[in-house]
C-alpha cells in the first residue's frame, strides 16, 4: 500500500465521525485549533524559519519569502480566521427542498458533507489552517498537500491541528498533511479515486492546469481571471474612471483584477485621456489598439492577440476601442476566463443585454470586479473562486463544500 493510499484510508476512516459530528463538537475542535496555534507560536515560527532559510539559500524572491513567512502577528491572524469560521452557520442538515409525492412518499433534500476533500496549494502556509478549518466546519475530512518550500511549516501546523481536534474528541485523522511532496505522490493524490470526493487546486495557472490534466477524481478549478471592464457609450465617465482604476490598480496581483478595458468609440476621445491620467499614479503600462494609440499617443504600445489573452497580474492593461456593445461582448466571449466582467453604463438596455449575454461567474453593472470574493459576497470565508461551471461557480463558501442526500420516508410504498 502506498503512502498516499494510507492517508486516504485514514481520512476515509475518520469521515463518518466528522460527518455526523454536531455543530457544537465541530466548533469546539475549531476553538481548540485556534487556541493551540497561539500557544504553540514559538515552535511554529521555529519550523517556519527552516523553510525561510532554505528559501533564502534557493534564491527565492523577496515577495515569495514574504508570503512564506509566519510571525506572531500572522499566527494570531490565522487563529482569528479560525474563530471567524466558528461563527459561521453550519450548512450541514440544511433542508434545501422537500415535497410529498402523490403516493405519499415524503422526500427531503438535505445538505450533507462531501466526505474527504483534497487541497493542493502553493507557498502560503496559512492556507493549511484556513482550508482545514473550512473543510472541518462543513463536516469533511481533509488531505492537505502544500508546496515543498513550506513543508516544515505545513507539517507542524498539521501536527498542532491534529492534536487539537483530538483533544476536542474528534479523530485526528480528519486532518492529513502530505509530508512527502514528490511529484509522484502528488500525482497519486490526483488519482485517489474511492478515497477523495473532491480535489481543489489553489495556486498558479500552471498548478491548476497540471491538476486538470492528471486528476481522475472530481476537481474544481479555481483562479484564472482575465477580466474586463466595458465602458458603454452612455456611461458616467467619472464613475467609469473610478471603477476601471479600482479594478486594475487596487490589487493587480489577484484574479478579480481586470486585465483589459473596452471603450465605446463614442466616448473614447473623452474617456481614454481621463483614465490614462488616473493610471499615472500607478504608472500603469498601456497596450492599445490603433484607435487607442491615435487618442493617447505613442506612450501606448500596440496591443496584439497576446496582450488581450494575457492575465498580467500587474500594473499593465490592454485597451480596445469598440464600435458597439456587441463587439465588446464578442471580445469578452473570445478572451474572458469567465471569472468577473463589468459594464459601466446608464442604459437599461445595455445593462440587461450585458447581464444576459456575458457568460461569467460574476457579471457586474456599475461596480468594480474586485468584489468577487467570499468575504465581499458575505459568505464569511472562502476556499477559492471557482472558474468552472460544475458544482460551484464564483466564490466558494461552506455550502460549496457540501453535497446533498435525499431522505425518502414512506409507509411501505412499492412500485
Q: Which residues bind a second copy (CB under 8 A)?
A: 16, 19-20, 99, 101, 105, 107, 112, 114-115, 193, 197-198, 212-213, 215-216, 218-220, 236, 239, 242-243, 246-247, 250, 333, 351, 355-357, 359-368, 370-372, 376-378, 388-391, 393-394, 403-415
Grid coordinates representing 393? Answer: 461557480
Burial of 412 (0-12, 13-18, 19+ CB in 10 A): exposed
Nearest C-alpha neighbor of 11 from the set 117, 100, 96: 117
Side-chain-side CA neighbours of residue 382 (13 Å) = 20
How many whole angstroms separate alpha carbon 282 and alpha carbon 275?
A: 12
- Our CB check for a second copy shows the closer of 3 and 377 to be 377
Taking the complex as a whole, the smallest distance from the CB of residue 22 to a second copy amounts, in Å, to 11
How many whole angstroms separate alpha carbon 101 and alpha carbon 372?
A: 40
Taking the complex as a whole, the smallest distance from the CB of residue 93 to a second copy amounts, in Å, to 9
| Count of beta carbons in the 10 Å neighbourhood of residue 297 | 10
Q: What is the dihedral of CA 253, 257, 260, 261, to 10 degrees?
A: -140
Nearest C-alpha neighbor of 227 from the set 211, 250, 206: 250
Q: Checking DSSP bridges between strand 394-396 and strand 95-100, what pairing results, if any?
A: unpaired
Phi then psi dihedrals of residue 177, to 5 deg: -110, 125
Taking the complex as a whole, the smallest distance from the CB of residue 29 to a second copy amounts, in Å, to 19
- Please check whether residue 144 is in contact with residue 202, taking contact to mean a CB–CB distance below 8 angstroms: no
Taking the complex as a whole, the smallest distance from the CB of residue 164 to a second copy amounts, in Å, to 25
3-class state of residue 202 by DSSP: strand
- Our CB check for a second copy shows the closer of 39 and 376 to be 376
- Our CB check for a second copy shows the closer of 16 and 182 to be 16
- Our CB check for a second copy shows the closer of 181 and 399 to be 399
- Please check whether residue 26 is in contact with residue 19, taking contact to mean a CB–CB distance below 8 angstroms: no
Taking the complex as a whole, the smallest distance from the CB of residue 102 to a second copy amounts, in Å, to 8
- Our CB check for a second copy shows the closer of 38 and 365 to be 365
Grid coordinates representing 158? Answer: 498539521
Taking the complex as a whole, the smallest distance from the CB of residue 246 to a second copy amounts, in Å, to 4
- Our CB check for a second copy shows the closer of 59 and 378 to be 378
Total residue length of the chain = 415
Q: What is the dihedral of CA 93, 94, 98, 103, to 10 degrees?
A: 0
Taking the complex as a whole, the smallest distance from the CB of residue 391 to a second copy amounts, in Å, to 4
Nearest C-alpha neighbor of 92 from the set 379, 406, 402, 409: 402
- Our CB check for a second copy shows the closer of 117 and 157 to be 117
- Our CB check for a second copy shows the closer of 79 and 143 to be 143
Taking the complex as a whole, the smallest distance from the CB of residue 365 to a second copy amounts, in Å, to 5
3-class state of residue 45 by DSSP: helix
- Our CB check for a second copy shows the closer of 25 and 365 to be 365
Rounded to 5°, angle at Cα 24 from 165 and 377: 95
Taking the complex as a whole, the smallest distance from the CB of residue 57 to a second copy amounts, in Å, to 37
- Our CB check for a second copy shows the closer of 2 and 16 to be 16
Taking the complex as a whole, the smallest distance from the CB of residue 326 to a second copy amounts, in Å, to 11
How many whole angstroms separate alpha carbon 202 and alpha carbon 312?
A: 18
Nearest C-alpha neighbor of 162 from the set 14, 3, 12, 1: 14
Taking the complex as a whole, the smallest distance from the CB of residue 394 to a second copy amounts, in Å, to 5
Question: Which DSSP symbol is given to 90?
Answer: P
- Our CB check for a second copy shows the closer of 43 and 390 to be 390
Amino acid at each position: 500500500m502506498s503512502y498516499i493510499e494510507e492517508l486516504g484510508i485514514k481520512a476515509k476512516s475518520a469521515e463518518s465521525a466528522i460527518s455526523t459530528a454536531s455543530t457544537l463538537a465541530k466548533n469546539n475542535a475549531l476553538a481548540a485549533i485556534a487556541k493551540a496555534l497561539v500557544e504553540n507560536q514559538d515552535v511554529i515560527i521555529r519550523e517556519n524559519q527552516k523553510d525561510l532559510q532554505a528559501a533564502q539559500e534557493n534564491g527565492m524572491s523577496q515577495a515569495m519569502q514574504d508570503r512564506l513567512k509566519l510571525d506572531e502577528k500572522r499566527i494570531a491572524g490565522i487563529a482569528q480566521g479560525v474563530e471567524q469560521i466558528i461563527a459561521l452557520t453550519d450548512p450541514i442538515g440544511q433542508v434545501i427542498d422537500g415535497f410529498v409525492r402523490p403516493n405519499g412518499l415524503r422526500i427531503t433534500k438535505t445538505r450533507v458533507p462531501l466526505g474527504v476533500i483534497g487541497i493542493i496549494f502553493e507557498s502560503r502556509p496559512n492556507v493549511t489552517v484556513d482550508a482545514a478549518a473550512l473543510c472541518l466546519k462543513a463536516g469533511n475530512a481533509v488531505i492537505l498537500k502544500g508546496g515543498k518550500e513550506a513543508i516544515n511549516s505545513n507539517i507542524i501546523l498539521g501536527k498542532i491541528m491534529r492534536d487539537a481536534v483530538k483533544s476536542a474528541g474528534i479523530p485526528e485523522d480528519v486532518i492529513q498533511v502530505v509530508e512527502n511532496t514528490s511529484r509522484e505522490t502528488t500525482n497519486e493524490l490526483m488519482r485517489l479515486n474511492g478515497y477523495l470526493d473532491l480535489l481543489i487546486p489553489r495556486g498558479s495557472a500552471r498548478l491548476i492546469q497540471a491538476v486538470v490534466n492528471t486528476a481522475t477524481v472530481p476537481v474544481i478549478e479555481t483562479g484564472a481571471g482575465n477580466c474586463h471592464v466595458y465602458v458603454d457609450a452612455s456611461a458616467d465617465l467619472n464613475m467609469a474612471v473610478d471603477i476601471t482604476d479600482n479594478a486594475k490598480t487596487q490589487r493587480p496581483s489577484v484574479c478579480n483584477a481586470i486585465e483589459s478595458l473596452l471603450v465605446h468609440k463614442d466616448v473614447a476621445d473623452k474617456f481614454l485621456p481621463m483614465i490614462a491620467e488616473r493610471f499615472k499614479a500607478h504608472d500603469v503600462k498601456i497596450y492599445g489598439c490603433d484607435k487607442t494609440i491615435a487618442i493617447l499617443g505613442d506612450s501606448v504600445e500596440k496591443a496584439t492577440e497576446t496582450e488581450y489573452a494575457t492575465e498580467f497580474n500587474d500594473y499593465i492593461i490592454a485597451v480596445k476601442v469598440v464600435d458597439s456593445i456587441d463587439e465588446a461582448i464578442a471580445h469578452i466571449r473570445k478572451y474572458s476566463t469567465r471569472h468577473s466582467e463589468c459594464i459601466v453604463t446608464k442604459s437599461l438596455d445595455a445593462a440587461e443585454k450585458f447581464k444576459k449575454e456575458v457568460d461569467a461567474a460574476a457579471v457586474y453593472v456599475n461596480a468594480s470586479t474586485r468584489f468577487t470574493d467570499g468575504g465581499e459576497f458575505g459568505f464569511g470565508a472562502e476556499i477559492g473562486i471557482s472558474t468552472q461551471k460544475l458544482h460551484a461557480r464564483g466564490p466558494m463558501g461552506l455550502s460549496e463544500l457540501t453535497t446533498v442526500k435525499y431522505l425518502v420516508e414512506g409507509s411501505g410504498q412499492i412500485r
